Amino acid sequence: QLPSFPKSVFAAGTAKKIARIQQKKASLVSEDEEEPQRRTNRGAGKLQPPERPLPPDEWRKMKESLGNPNSFDCQMMTSLVTAGSDLDIAKSLLTFVAMETGTLSYELLLRYLTLCVIGGHDDEVFDVYKIMRGSFPSMDTGASTLFIKSFSRTERWKEAVGILQEVKKVFTPSQRNYHDVIAAAVQHGDTATAWSLYDELITNGKIPHQDTWDALFTCVKKTKEEEEEPEHQEKLLRILLYMRNNQIYPQESVAVKIRTWFESLKGPKWTGGWSSITPKGVCRCCGSELESIQLSAEEYQELKDKVMTDVIQGRDVFNKTTPEELERFKVFVKRKPAFDVVIDGLNVANINKDKNKQSDTLLAVVSALEDQGLNVLVLGRKHMLRPSRFWSKHNMSLIQQKAHCFFTDNISEDDPFLLYATLHSGNHCRFVSRDLMRDHKACLPDGASRRLFFKWQRGHQLVIGGHVAPGRSIRFQSIPEYDTIVQTTGDSWHIPYDDTEDRSTYEVPLRWLCLTKKH
C-alpha cells in the first residue's frame, strides 16, 4: 500500500515523514543495524554526588579515596549540577574547598552559579554576584548570561540591563540575553525599555526568539489602560510585518497570544479563528481570498536578473558552464516561442528506480504534457543522445519530435539552465523536477532574493506524484494558488503558524490564524 503524503513537497512535515518511512523500509532490510551508542556525559558518570551536605573531613576523605584528582572540586560541582542536587550540598563543598585552599576558583564559582540559576535560588545568586564582583576583575560571557537570566526574574531586573550593557562592550549579546531582559521589562511594566531593547536587537540583525514575541504580545494587555496605546499597537503590528518580510512563522503559543491581543483591542471588534486554506486560496474561516503566489512584474524581473547573474554566471562562468554554451543557450531560448513547461530531463528520467527505463520514463512524461497541447522544453546533457542501454535512440528521437530539446555539455550543470529557461518564458511557465533546488537557492546573495526564489519555486514547480508506469496517467502534485505568508488587508489578518515541530526549513505551515474586524 502506498503511503499517503500531504499534497505538496513544500508542506510542513513532508520531509520528516518521508525520512521516517524510508528509515522503516531500511530497518526491515537490515535489522541488525545497531543503535548508535549515546555518549555519556563527561565527568557525570565518574563521580557520585553525595546525598547530604558533608563536613570538610568527609569531603577530604572522598577526595583522597579518588586519589586526589586535580580538579576534584569542579568535577564534583558539575556532577551536582547534572544531578540537580540540593544547594546545601554544594555549599558544604565550597566550604570544604575554601578551608582547604583559602580561596575559590572562578570556574568553581561559575558552576555553583549554574546550580543556583537552574534551581531558581535567586537570593543566593545575589550573594554570588557580590562575591564574584569583589574577587574578579570582570566576568566572562557565561557568567553574564546566567546573571542576566537570574536578575531578570527578580525585582533587581534593572541590574540585568546594566550587565547587558557591559556585555555589549565586547560582544553583541545573544537573543537569549535580550529576551531575558525584555521579558523582565515587560513584567514590570517598563515597556519603553522593552521596546528600545527590542529595536536594538533588530538593528543588530538578530532574529528574536519566539518567546520574546510571546512576552511582547502579552505585555500590552496589561498597559492597555494607559494613553500610549496607539504607539504599542503600531509596534506590535510592526512585529507582524517583520515576520512577513522575513518569512517567519509564529509558533502556536505565540499565535494564541496574537489572537488574544487582537480580540482584546478596543474599538471595532476583532474576531479570530483557527483555519486552513482551500487549494484555491480561500480561507475556510472567513471566506476571503488570500494573496496570490504569483510574483509581481518587478519582483519577477528582479528574480530573473539575479538567477542569471548569481546562479548561472556566479563568480566565474566556467564553474557551471562555458561562455560559448551560455551564448548558444541564450540564442536558442530567444529563437523559440515561450515555453509552457520546462522539464529537467535527467531528474525526471531517474524517478523510476529501474535504470534501464530512463528514456521510457522521460518519454512518458513528455507525451503526457504534449497531449495537453503544451509547448515543452526538455533540458538534458549530451550523453543522453549517445544510444545506450539506458537511452534508446528511438525514444530520444520521439522526445525530440514532441518537444524542444537543449543538451548541455556533460560537465556543465543543467539546473541553472532550467531555471533560466522557465523564468525567461514568463509567469505562466512551469518546470518539472523533484529537485528542491536548495543549492541554487544558496547561490543567491541575500535573504530577500532567496525568499523571492522560494515563493516563485512554490508557484511554478511541478512535482510528479507517485510512480510513472506505461499506461498509467501521470499525476502532478497540486500547486497552491496562494502564498503562505503573514498577510493583511487592513480589515483582516491571516497568519500561518507552526503547530508541529516537524517542519523543515524549505517547507511551509498548513495551519492559519484568521483575524477579521467587524464594523
Partner 1 sequence: VQSEQSEVIDLDKWKYVMKSQASFQEQRLSGNEGPSEDAGILNESGADLKDSSSLDATRELVSMWRQAGKLVPQEMTEEEVRLLADLTTKASRKKYLKYLAIKEGHKLSRKEKQQKKKAEREASVKEKRELDIGQNQDGHNFKNTIILQFWDRSLDKLLAWRTAQAMIFGQPLVFDMSYESNMSRRELENTVSQLLEVEGWNRRAPDPFHLHFCNLQPDGTYKKELVKRYGEETWERLLITTTKQHYIELFPREQLVYLTADSPNVLRTFDHSKVYIVGALVDRSIQTGLSLANAKRLKLATARLPLDEFLHWDVGAKNLTLDQVIRIMLTIKETGKWEEALKFVPTRKHDGFHQKLTQT
Contact residues for partner 1 (CB under 8 A)?
A: 52-56, 74, 88, 91-92, 94-95, 97-99, 102-107, 110, 127, 130-131, 133-143, 169-172, 174, 316, 318-320, 322, 410-411
Q: Which of residues 122 and 252 has its CB atom nearest to partner 1 in the complex? A: 122
Q: Which is nearer to partner 1, 125 or 194 (CB)?
A: 125
The least CB distance from residue 319 to partner 1, in Å, is 5
Which residue lies nearer to partner 1 by CB, 52 or 269? 52
Phi-psi group of 460: left, alpha or beta (phi > 0 → left; psi -120 to 50 → alpha; rest → beta): alpha
Query: Rounded to whole angstroms, how far apart are CA atoms 75 and 81?
Result: 10
Q: Please, what is the minimum distance in Å from the beta carbon of residue 193 to partner 1?
A: 24
- Residue 363 beta carbon to partner 1: minimum distance, rounded to whole angstroms: 27
**Closest CA relative to residue 367, chosen from 328, 336, 395, 337:** 395
What is d(CA 381, CA 286) in angstroms, rounded to the nearest whole number?
Answer: 49
Q: Are strands 430-432 and 461-462 parallel, antiparallel or unpaired?
A: parallel
Choose between 20 and 52: whose C-beta lies nearer to partner 1: 52
Choose between 104 and 448: whose C-beta lies nearer to partner 1. Answer: 104
**Closest distance of CB 33 from partner 1, Å:** 18
Minimum separation from the CB atom of position 323 to partner 1 (A): 9
Q: How many of the other CB atoms lie within 10 Å of CB of 197?
A: 21
Instruction: Tell the smallest beta-carbon distance from residue 306 to partner 1 (Å).
Output: 20
Q: Which residue has the cell 488587508?
A: 489
- List, in order, residues 6 or more apart from 489 with CB less than 8 Å away: 288
Q: How far is C-alpha 106 from the geometric centre of its chain's CA atoms?
A: 37
Closest by CA position to 239, among listed 270, 272, 257, 216: 216
Q: Which is nearer to partner 1, 135 or 296 (CB)?
A: 135
Cβ distance to partner 1 smaller for residue 133 or 438? 133
The C-alpha cell 513528455 sits at 366
Minimum CB separation of residue 502 from partner 1 in Å reads 27
Residue closest to 72 by CA, chosen among 58, 103, 64, 41: 64
Given a contact cutoff of 8 angstroms between Cβ atoms, the answer to whether 434 and 351 are in contact is yes
